[in-house]
Amino acid sequence: MKAVFDTNVLIAAFLTEGVCSKLLRRGRKRQLHLITCPFILQEFEHVLTNKFSATKKETQGALKLVSEAVQTVVHPTAGVDTHGLTPVALKTLILAGVGLYPSFPEILHIAL
């Protein structure tokens, strides 16, 4: 099964012991095909550091654990100008590009 965890899910996986942390463990065991993009990883790092005052070492450890779980890192579609897209629109574009939305052209039109 393919899955994309947004920043909120990743934060919850590290701050609480619950569904999100269990899902991340499943990703690390390769029971899920976890997909992410650089934007989600950067946002995760930013939130850990700035909102939750994580140290550099704590943040690097969290990113290492996430990277162990991730099987695919998707970059924005070549030729698509992502400048000015909202975070939600950018994530939607990434998800559409890996087939987690059924109609990529429709999503691309909406995102732009």
39-78 pLDDT, tens digit per residue, is 889 999 999 999 999 999 999 999 999 999 999 888 765 5
Instruction: List the beta strands (DSSP E) in the chain.
Output: 2-4, 33-36, 70-73
pLDDT score for 98: 56
Range of the domain at 55: 1-73
Ordered strands of the 2-4 beta sheet? 2-4, 33-36, 70-73
pTM of the model: 0.73
**Residues 18 and 63 placed together within one structural domain of the fold:** yes
**Residues 88 and 107 placed together within one structural domain of the fold:** yes
**Residues 95 and 52 placed together within one structural domain of the fold:** no
Of 23 and 109, the one with more pLDDT: 23
Number of domains comprising the chain: 2
